[in-house]
Amino acid sequence: MQDIRPPVVVFVYGTLRDGEPNHSLLASARFLGVARTVPRYTLVDMGSYPALVAGGLNQVVGELYELDTGTLEEVDEYEDHPAFYRRSPVELEDGREVSSYLLPEAMAVGSRVIESGDWGQRSRVG
């Protein structure tokens, strides 16, 4: 039986972005463009990957992908949803609400904030 569930639009901001090490998980997803959240989030550096936390004053830069059910399930598993990250709605600066993977604030305590809101700019000073 064919899956008739609609695709889900997901905002990715770290290692799933184009050029990052886990982007291959999105090989079958449709790229929809670059996007920014409203300035109500915090992006933190967890070492080899970032985490998006609700609350804060930063806009976060990422990419939008349309995922079919199978790809969404694979990404949920990769992101350890809901045990670690939680797939949750986020608001974009253009007013759209899409899904993304958020880390509970308590799990990000002590992590360095990426002030630029852009994982790709994490090592640049300024």
d(CA 126, CA 123): 10
Closest CA to 30 of 69, 68, 70: 68
* Catalytic status, residue 79: yes
Q: Check pLDDT > 70 for residue 15.
A: yes
The CATH classification of domain 8-119, taken from the options 3.40.50.2300, 3.40.190.170, 3.60.20.40, 3.10.490.10: 3.10.490.10
User: Per the residue annotation, which of 79, 93, 97, 115 is the catalytic one?
Assistant: 79
Domain boundaries in the chain?
Answer: 8-119
Digit-coded pLDDT (tens) for 28-52: 999 999 999 999 999 999 999 999 9
CB atoms within 10 A of CB 62: 27
d(CA 58, CA 43): 8
